[in-house]
Amino acid sequence: MKKSKMVRRAIRNYNSKAVDWLLHENCFYTFKNLNDDKEPFRNIVDKGTVTSIGCKEFYDSGEDNKRVFKHLLRNTLMELCKIKQIECYGKKGIFRFANNSKAPSQKRVKWKGKNESTKTVIFEMINKKELHIICFRSLAFRSSFINIFDDWFLVLNPTWSFTNPGGYHQSRFESAYMSGGYSAHSRPPIPQ
């Protein structure tokens, strides 16, 4: 069994599905304070093995460590997004608003800036002739991290995620939906 799978299993044994950690070269990395006895990760980490490392010191020590640092930033972003019901999906690692797995439907979220507002983040796309849901379109983004001098920035590139009528799995017609190749009024192309 892979070591990362063993760590994931150990974390689950303590009723956590946290992903804001990384295993690299037999070391467990996280931004959390492992010296704090109340930290849930302390259940799987021996306090005598904890070593604090400054971020800059770590990522400046080589390209491999910079990649590890970016990966840890991404895992931490995934954990923060879970709080807002945004999931990281698929091999492309797109972040999208999570639909209800038992009863998928449109979803609206409220937020407050200068004024309070509501935004639809998951849309039902309906075939108007046959009056059924052909897919769901979810507000989504791709993320990357860039380092400029001593500052790290999160870059968000907005996009859409199209799921099957079940609301979770990627629609096989996603590329056609993305390009605007057909709408809910027309039938999807028949796969060859």
Q: Which pLDDT tens digit goes with each residue over 120-148?
A: 999 999 988 989 999 999 999 999 999 99
Rounded to the nearest integer, the mean pLDDT of the chain is 89
Averaged pLDDT, 51-69: 95
For residue 182, the model assigns a pLDDT of 52
For every residue of the chain, which 3-state class applies, written as one string? CCHHHHHHHHHHHCCCCCCCCEEECCEEECCCCCCCCCCHHHHCCCHHHCCCCCHHHHHCCCHHHHHHHHHHHHHHHHHHHHHCCEEEECCCCEEEECCCCCCCCCEEEEEECCCEEEEEEEEEEEECCCCEEEEEEEEEEEEEEEEECCEEEEEEEEEEEEECCCCCCECCCHHHHHHCCCCCCCCCCCCC
> Higher confidence at residue 95 or residue 185?
95
Averaged pLDDT, 67-91: 94
The pLDDT-based confidence of 190 (bands split at 50, 70, 90) is very low
For residue 186, the model assigns a pLDDT of 45
Averaged pLDDT, 17-44: 92
The pLDDT-based confidence of 90 (bands split at 50, 70, 90) is confident
